[in-house]
Structure 1
């Protein structure tokens, strides 16, 4: 089931990744602009999204499309949700931590999802109800039982604005209990790394649909838990995520709430 969609998702991510590899550490500074303060976009983002969109439109012209750079078009019930370059600031600075995120969503949620890390040749792929893989091998979240001693990922962007005090207070409560907390700058990769067991959990505020559309399915199909910061299922709408093994996610929720 969904074999054709899975192949399309993978092919599109690979097409975007190929484009990005051609630009990495070779960007013309004149092609880098700010969408809003400290929120970068480059020629690489746009070129990758064009390649991804073309691949998906060729295979499934009946599906809609939502991309970070080009916006939404077509069918809203079945549509691809794409971040052609998650970690743009990293990419622009030459920091080697960024990825491509491609997912198909329908009225029930995510159907297929791929997070591709071209530099490390890491491919994370999931299909609803059929599990998740890392470079073709089944993957699962870690066996960490709780927050104490957990290895966590998080994110905080300049765009947090007035939400920063809320996040900062929550971070202060989590910090003493975790083994380590990393902020690497790519939400999609953070989710993929929870799904494969590198991280035990993850929390962030204010993500956009394209940041989490593929990674959320990876986590779900790898046996992980996703909620919003209230413990509900409004995470896609709010962009506020608590993610991890069952025990880590539960402990995170309680700790974030104070």
Structure 2
């Protein structure tokens, strides 16, 4: 995969047999099929809470992605949301079982299922590849807007072949932040609400589109300057984290510790507002730690 060369203006190119190409192909095919199923959900169930939805489309999209990945990389491991029981304990256990994998694909077939069910046009396919625990490929595809976000470790992040960069906002007061309303009503949502309340008086504005992966993609492209949420899973954020860091941003847990696949309480920013955001969350007792 070749990044855009600033001198020769050579377009962004992905090798046809690379893991990145496979991730792009999987996300694109699954995304187009998901889009074709809008309004045609046949099976609707709940997981963690009445607000945590899963459909036959989620399950079908993940099966499609699994088959495509294993066709090219039969020896790789896959961690997909739809194969994991609801709840934080199950997510932690599932990740621990594959933590020693050399190559691990981390898949969220529809990030934003509730939006998808209601026809609210903010959902995406999120696919990451980790090598020995470090994310090296991240792809997010928004089929409604036909926006493809791609990152490879050390080679930058791109949206449709054009390099993405985080915003230049230097303070919370100048920033738009993305936040989430977590479906975990017992722990995560009350903590998030404390953080949201504290941040609402410090920032220019808050936004919540209902997809952690898209929030991170929007940080990477400078559409928002930061994102905060407690109670996330590795499949929600792995691809987006690489997009942010490869776009010049910073990602940590809510105490400022470096990101790893087990981080569930996340802060991602353009870097310039990171310390101020962490301080605000700490003062509000909204870290979830």
Q: Please say whether Structure 1 and Structure 2 have the same fold, judged by a TM-score greater than 0.5.
A: yes
Residue 187 of structure 2 corresponds to which residue in structure 1?
162
CA distance in 1, matches of 2:260, 2:176: 22
Deviations 1:52-77 (A, max 9, x none): 11111111111110100024698722
Q: Deviations over 1:20-49 (max 9, x none)?
A: 012112223xx1111232211101101111
- Cα deviation, residue 170, structure 1: 2.0
SS of match in other structure, 2:125: strand
What is the correspondence of 1:9-24 to structure 2 with a 5 Å cutoff? 9-24=23-38
Per the alignment, residue 224 of structure 2 pairs with 199
Note the residue ranges of structure 1 that are not aligned, 5 or more in a row.
none
Match of 1:62 in 2: 75
CA distance in 2, matches of 1:108, 1:82: 15
State the 1:236 CA deviation.
3.2
Shift of 1:156: 1.8
- In the alignment of these two chains, the number of paired residues is 256
Q: Secondary structure at the match of 2:70?
A: helix
Q: Which residue of 1 aligns with 2:161?
A: 136
Matched, 1:76 2:88: no
**SS of equivalent to 2:60:** helix
| Secondary structure, counterpart of 2:273 in structure 1 | helix
Q: Deviations over 1:214-258 (max 9, x none)?
A: 000000100000011111025531311111111211110011111
Q: Which runs of 5+ in 2 are unaligned?
A: 2-13, 85-93, 284-289
Q: Could you say which residue in structure 1 is the equivalent of 2:115? A: 90
Contact 1:206–1:238 (8 Å) recurs in 2: no
Shift in CA distance, 230/84, structure 1 to aligned 2, threshold 3 Å: same
Alignment TM-score, normalising by the size of structure 2: 0.84
Give yes or no for contact 1:19–1:47 (8 Å, CA) kept in 2. no
Aligned partners of 2:67, 2:49: CA distance in 1, in Å? 30
Is the CA contact 1:235–1:241 (under 8 Å) kept in the aligned structure 2? no
Mapping of residues 1-258 of structure 1, within 5 Å: 3=15, 4-28=18-42, 31-38=43-50, 39-71=52-84, 76-234=101-259, 236-258=261-283
Distance of 1:113 and 1:195 partners within structure 2 = 12
Query: 3-state SS of the aligned residue for 1:140?
Result: coil
CA contact (8 A) 2:176 2:206 kept: yes
